[in-house]
Amino acid sequence: MQAALRFLPLVVLALLTGCVSMFSGFMFSPTGGDINANNKTIAVVAGVDNDMNVAVAESMADALARNSNFKVMPAKQVAKRIAGYPQLIRGPYNSADITIDINYSKTDLKKVKEIMKKLGTDYAYVIWAPTGYSRTAINRNTSGVSGTAKVFPAVAQMFQGAGAKVVGQGRFDVAAVKYIPFTTASDEDVKDALNDATEIVSKIVAEKSGALKQ
């Protein structure tokens, strides 16, 4: 029997178990009360200068454009506004060897302020995806069939205005799983998992920012 192929970002696991509401605060939470960002401008920025982080930022920008009332700056415009983009921005973590040891106080706010001035948007949603790893995954719904997953943890913060005030933050994983023994998820599998993850996270970000498209 042909083994099933499934793409399972962490947020999709939450959806399948009916626990999205429980995980939504984990993925994005306002830091200082309600965010009223309806119809405001926003740019999505990669905080690490690697291809995966750029792909996550571009996918999130596309998803926010579909699912929110934010006026989203296109990724190409972000690259034009920020010389040498993507740039390495010191992010909200102590280390990121395999997983991310999050510490929101570590963010280089001076650097973020410089970028906010260049962007000229009301908000910026900066995503750091500095690492990735592989692990064995077991599908308990198909008699324990196993496969190898590619996992890319990400942490993000939302900043407001030229002063780069932190108004929201959260984390999520992009995880592509191929339930075929001795087979690793392909680059195309990762792309599909990435789009699934950003689709769900973008809706949570939009909802908690008062900008969810109805």
Inside any domain, residue 181: yes
pLDDT for the residue numbered 19 = 35
Inside any domain, residue 89: yes
pLDDT for the residue numbered 67 = 97
Q: What is the pTM of this model?
A: 0.85
Reading the block at residue 56, the tokens are 């996550």
With the C-alpha atoms ordered 63, 69, 74, 80, is the resulting torsion angle positive or negative? Answer: negative
Placement of tokens 């192929």 in the chain: 5
pLDDT for the residue numbered 167 = 97
Q: Which residues of the chain have pLDDT under 70?
A: 1-25, 137-147, 179-182
d(CA 186, CA 199): 20
Inside any domain, residue 99: yes
Are 156 and 128 spatial neighbours (Cβ–Cβ below 8 Å)? Answer: yes
pLDDT for the residue numbered 177 = 79
Q: Phi and psi at residue 51, in whole multiples of 5°?
A: -65, -40
Task: Report, in angstroms and rounded to the nearest whole number, the Rg of the chain calculated over CA atoms.
Answer: 17
Inside any domain, residue 81: yes
Segment 8-44, tens digit of pLDDT:
344 333 333 233 333 456 899 999 888 989 999 999 9
d(CA 71, CA 101): 32
Q: What angle do CA 73, 77, 79 make, to 5 degrees?
A: 120
pLDDT for the residue numbered 98 = 84
Are 155 and 128 spatial neighbours (Cβ–Cβ below 8 Å)? Answer: yes
The CATH number for 28's domain is 3.40.50.10610
2-25 in b/e form (b: 16+ CB < 10 A) is eeeebbbbbbbebeeeeebeebbe
Considering all CA atoms of the chain, what is the largest pairwise distance in Å, rounded to the nearest integer? 58
Number of separate domains in the chain = 1
Q: Phi and psi at residue 29, in whole multiples of 5°?
A: -140, 135
Inside any domain, residue 188: yes
Alpha helices in the chain, H assignment, sequence order: 10-16, 20-27, 51-67, 75-81, 109-119, 187-208
pLDDT for the residue numbered 141 = 56
d(CA 59, CA 122): 20
Inside any domain, residue 45: yes
pLDDT for the residue numbered 24 = 55
Inside any domain, residue 213: no
pLDDT for the residue numbered 109 = 98
Inside any domain, residue 107: yes
Q: Which domain does 172 fall in, by range? A: 5-208
Of 148, 150, 170, 168, the C-alpha closest to 159 is 168
d(CA 61, CA 23): 21
